[in-house]
Amino acid sequence: MFLKNILLNDFRNYDKILWEPCNGINFITGSNAQGKTNLLEAVFFSGLGYSFRKKDRDVIRWGKTHSSVRATYFLKDMPVDIVADINEEGKKKILINGAEDGRKFLPGRFGIVLFRPDDLETIKGPPARRREFIDNEIGMIEPVYRRRLQQYRRVVEQRNNLLRVGGGKDLQSLKIWNEQFYRYGAEVLSGRIKLLKKYSPLVREMYASIAGNHENLEIKYLSTVKISGGTDTEQIINDFIFEGKTREKEEFYKKQTVIGPHRDDIVFLINKQDARHYGSQGQIRSIVLALKTAQLQLFRLETGEQPILLLDDVLMELDDRRQHYLLQLIAGKYQSFITSTTLDDSIKRYVDRVYFVNKGTVKEES
C-alpha cells in the first residue's frame, strides 16, 4: 500500500494544497508550528477516517465551516480514491471510490503505523494506555475483535449505570446485562490473547535485534479474570461467571464493574524485571521501537500489504544506533513520513525526498 497524492482544503493551517509524496522515505522539515504534524495528521485522517488528536472537528481551519481531504492510495496496484469531509458539528462524510462506504473499508485497515514521542507512555503510563494500544493499534487487523470490543464497552456502560444508580438492587435487569457481559467479555479477552500470541514473538525478535540477545523481553497479559487455560470462548465465559459471582458484593459496594478486559493490563519484562519500574530510558525506547517495527511486520504478514509509517518528531528522540536501526529497516520497504526540525547528514542518505514546510506551504527541496 502507498499514498499517491493528497489534496487538503481548509485543513488545520493549510488553505489548499496538493501533495504528491514519493513511495519511499519522505522527510518533512521546517520550524516548529508550521504544519509538519498537520501534514501527517491529514495522511492519517485520509487513511483511517479520524484524527490522532483529540477532536476530529479541530482539523477545520480557523474561521472556516468545514474541511476536506482527498487522497489516492494504491492497494495491490489498484487505485483507491478517498474523499473525507467534516463540518463544524463534527459530522463526517467519507466516500471510497465514489461510494459512501463505512470506515471499515478505508485503506488504513491495511496498516498506518503512527510513532509519536508520547508513545513512550505506553510502557510507563497507566494501564489504559496499554489497553488502548492493543485495542486501537494492533486490534485493527481483526475487524470482528473491534466489533466485539464496541459491544462489550456498551454493555459495561449499561451495567455500570445499573450498579451506580440502583446499587445492584435491580437484579433482574442486571442478570440480563450479565449474560451479554460474560459473552462479549470472554470474546474480547480471547481475542486479545490471540492477538498477543501473533504479535509478541515479532516484538521479542525486534527487541533482540535492537538491544542484543543478552536482554530477553517478555510481554505478559494480566487478566482480572482467572483463566483456567487456553483461549476457548466458552471456557472463558465459565471463568467469567465464576469470578463475577465471587466479586459480586465488591461490585455492589463500589457501584462499578470491577472485572473484565476494561480493567486488565499488560506488562513488559526485561530479563524477568518489570520495565515500568526497572527499565532504563534507553530500554524503554527500545521496547517502544520494537512495538512499532513489529506492528509493521504484523500488518504485512496479516494483510499482504506494506503498511505506511508516520514518525512525528520522534526520530531525534532516538540515539544514533536506534535511528540507523529503524532507517535501515524501513528503507526500500515501507512508504514513510518523518517530521523533524533538523536533517543530519547521517540520516539524509536514507531519505528519498525532503520537503520544507513553512506557514502551511510544502515545497520539495532538491
Q: Was 34 annotated as part of a binding site? A: yes
Instruction: Check the annotation: does 30 bind a ligand.
Output: yes
**Of 112, 154, 117, 104, whose CA–CA distance to 137 is shortest?**
112
The C-alpha cell at 356 is 520544507
How many Å is the maximal CA-CA distance in the chain?
71
DSSP 8-state class, residue 229: S
The gap from C-alpha 218 to its chain's centroid, in whole angstroms, comes to 21
**Residue 287 and residue 204 in contact, taking contact as beta carbons nearer than 8 Å:** no
Distances (CA, A) of 138 to 85, 98, 103, 131, 290: 26, 29, 17, 10, 13
Q: Is 151 marked as binding a ligand?
A: no
* β-strands 92-96, 78-87 pairing: antiparallel
Residue 98 marked in a binding site: no
Q: Show the cell assigned to 243.
A: 469470578
Q: Give the contacts of 296 (CB within 8 A, at least 6 positions apart).
A: 111, 113, 307, 309, 329, 330, 334
Cα 122 to Cα 266: distance, rounded to the nearest angstrom? 10
**DSSP symbols for 121-144:** HHHHS-HHHHHHIIIIIIGGG-HH
Q: CA-to-CA distance for 307 and 325, rounded, in angstroms?
A: 18
Residues 148, 127: Cα–Cα separation, whole Å:
20
**Residue 166 counted as an annotated binding residue:** no
In angstroms, the CA 307 to CA 137 distance is 12
Q: Which amino acid is at 336?
A: S
Task: Identify whether the C-beta of residue 343 lies closer than 8 Å to the C-beta of residue 29.
Answer: yes
Cell 478486559, residue?
Answer: 261
CB 113 within 8 A of CB 309: yes
Instruction: Say if residue 35 carries a ligand binding annotation.
Output: yes
Q: Which residues are annotated as a binding site for ATP?
A: 30-37
Q: Which residues are annotated as a binding site?
A: 30-37
